[in-house]
Each structure stands twice: as structure tokens, then as C-alpha cells.
Amino acid sequence: MNSSRSTGAAGYVAALHALNGDNRLRGLKPRAGIDFTSNDYLALARSPRMKKALTAALETGTPIGAGGSRLLRGNCKEHEQLEAAATQFFGAKTALFFGSGYVANFALLTTLPQRGDLVVIDALVHASIHEGARAGRAEFRLSAHNDVGSVEDTIRDWRAKGGMGRIFIVVESLYSMDGDFAPLEALVTLADRYEAFLIVDEAHATGIYGEQGRGLTAAYEGRENLLIVHTCGKALGAAGALVTASSVLREFLVNRCRPFIFATAPSPLMAVAVREALLILEEEPERQQHLASLVAFTHRAIAARGRASGSNSQIIPYIVGDNARAMQLASKLQARGFDIRGIRPPTVPAGTARLRISLTLNVTENDVTEMLDALVEETWDDLR
């Protein structure tokens, strides 16, 4: 007897076969080659200073695990110290620490919008935002990517059909797969016009953009209708996420946010690591400057090879289109020593499978030059 059929797993097997047939079957691969794929933009994940801070924390009694939720015994001094430091660093009213960026986005959208409200999300935001909007109580609608007019049309249409509740506009400041920037100034203006809340995910901008890496929202921080998610597992080299918001919204989250209330608190050691990362941003501005220089160098080098980079940030998409072709190209570059991964639907829209090239301080200009030369050689047939 077929064991998968007898256990009811046949449907899963069929689904996996379908993914494989569409060149979308995924698997876990170890790290190998020069890093052109991680989000460790400032190379803090293995920095000696971060290691020293964690070692010192362990030696002075910081627990590895929190042992409970924040509302029970899991509220450690390290969490509160981080939130105080983050409030000061970002110029915010308050900050609240979550276990991950995914959890933070999901938590906000399943807690703050209520029945009768509207959530408008950019079509290309993170999966966690899509999932939070689907799981939440409010209506939600997609707006065309980086199209403020589309956001406004969506709001007007909803109001014209009798919508009377609060409005939440949700975007990323820097999009993770396309490397392009949101029109934040226009979105802030739009949110004010419609008395809407604006939620901005700074996952790929925190630590890199803005004065001392405070993010692209730094100029707007402290507004009552603005919530910002600063992911800590990318440029900050640790794990978790900080949500900055007004004191009223923070208190509401502490009292009503189920992913916060019922989850074991993040490791106090991660709170120490994130706090150290914020200090590094203040005290070592050369990291941010070095990355900006590397990004500029790379975009010039791409242009010199007759290519269009598709962005002007540290995230460079190389659109291939076909799933199989994207994975074949990624494999060829990996075989040449460059850790570049293929990205396929549903992570990106159908027909836009790509290589996602990520620039970090884990690579040098020479690494970039060699990688771009290899990319040109491997795609030479595409140009003819």
C-alpha cells in the first residue's frame, strides 16, 4: 500500500510534484561562496564588537531565554533597556520589541485595524503584511506598487461605498525584491489628508539610510499617525523587530496584541545585541558610509557593462522571467563561488523570476567586479 496515500499525505505529494514541475520546488542549502545574498548589510552579524557585548552579558548574568511572556516573568531589564535606547535613537515616542519582523507586521495588522476599518497595502509588501491583513478584522485592498494615486483611489472608492472607519496605509520604505524606494513624503501627506494611519516597514532601510542609519522615516518619526517597524535581523545583525509608535498605540498593543501577549518574550541576549548594534550605528558611521560607497561603485560598474541595475539601492534585481532559467543562472554563479540565489513566485510576481543581488560589507569592490564579470559571461547569449 502506498504509505503516503494511507496517511493522507497524497495531496501534499501531489502539491510538491506540481511545484517541481513549475521549477518552484524549494530546499534548504548551506552557506557557500562569497555573500551576495544575505541581508547582513553592515556585516554586524559576526562582528567582534557584537560578540564581545554578548559574552559580557552572559558573564554578568543575562539569561539566554526570557522564560515567559513579557506580561508574566519574561519582561527582563534588557528588553526595557533596549526599548529605551531605541526610543532615544530613533527619536520616537515609544518602542516595543518583538521576536521578528514577520511577527511584528502580523501583530500590528491583526491588532490595530478593527471591523469597519480599511487596510490598504502596497501590492509588493512583505508576505507578513499580506498575511496580517488577511487574518485581521478589517477589510483590506491592494494598491498598485508605489502608486500614491492608486492608494487614494482605493480610499475614495471605499468611502464612496459607505466605509466610515479608520484607514491604515501599509508600505515598505525600501522594497526587498525590487530595491526601490517608497514615495514616503507623498504617503505621509496622503495619510494626513484622510486622517489615516501609515505603517512603514523599514526592514531593508534601518541602519543604512537616514542620519546614523535611523531609516528613511527619520524625518517623520514621532507623528501620532505613524507606526514604524525596524527589523533587527538585517543591517542590525541580530534578531527581532522594534515597533516605534505613540504611547497610546504601544499601550494598546501591550493589552490587546495576541502575538505579543501570548508569546515567550525574545531572548534577553538578542535585546543586548540590538542595543549594541544601535551603539555601533552611532559610533561607527564609517560602516554606513562604506556601504554607500560600495553601492555607488556597483551601480557604476553595472552601467559600464551596458546593463541597467533596476534599482539604486543595495538590493539589485536581475530579472530573468523564466523560473528554470533563473535557477540555472543562480547555480552557474554559485559554481563560480558567488552565493546568489534565484527568487521565484510567489515571492515575486509570476513571470518575474530573478536573481536578487544583495550588497553587504561582507564583500569588496574586487568581489563585485568579479561577480559582475561572471554574470555577464553567463548571460552573454541573452544579449545576442
DSSP, residue by residue, 251-280: HHHHHH-HHHHSSPPPPHHHHHHHHHHHHH
Do the domain assignments include residue 59?
yes
Do the domain assignments include residue 309?
no
Same domain, residue pair 119 and 252? yes
Question: What CATH number corresponds to the domain at position 262?
Answer: 3.40.640.10
Distance CA 136, CA 75 (A): 27
Domain count, the chain: 2
SS3 category, 119: strand
pLDDT score, position 2 = 54
Distances (CA, A) of 312 to 21, 138, 339, 363: 35, 35, 21, 18
Residue-wise pLDDT tens digits, 84-131 = 999 999 999 999 999 999 999 999 999 999 999 999 999 999 999 999
Do the domain assignments include residue 190?
yes
Residue 7 has pLDDT above 80, yes or no: no
What's the pTM value of the predicted model, to 2 decimals? 0.93
Same domain, residue pair 348 and 378? yes
Same domain, residue pair 370 and 266? no
The domain in which residue 114 lies consists of 49-282
Same domain, residue pair 35 and 102? no
Same domain, residue pair 80 and 153? yes
Same domain, residue pair 146 and 198? yes
Mean pLDDT confidence for 51-60? 98
pLDDT score, position 382 = 53
**Residues labelled catalytic:** 39, 126, 172, 176, 201, 204, 234
Do the domain assignments include residue 303?
no
Same domain, residue pair 184 and 82? yes
pLDDT score, position 5 = 56
Question: What CATH number corresponds to the domain at position 375?
Answer: 3.90.1150.10
**Are the CB atoms for 189 and 225 separated by under 8 Å?**
no
Report the 10 Å Cβ neighbour count for 220.
Answer: 18
Do the domain assignments include residue 269?
yes
Same domain, residue pair 206 and 332? no
Residue 243 has pLDDT above 60, yes or no: yes
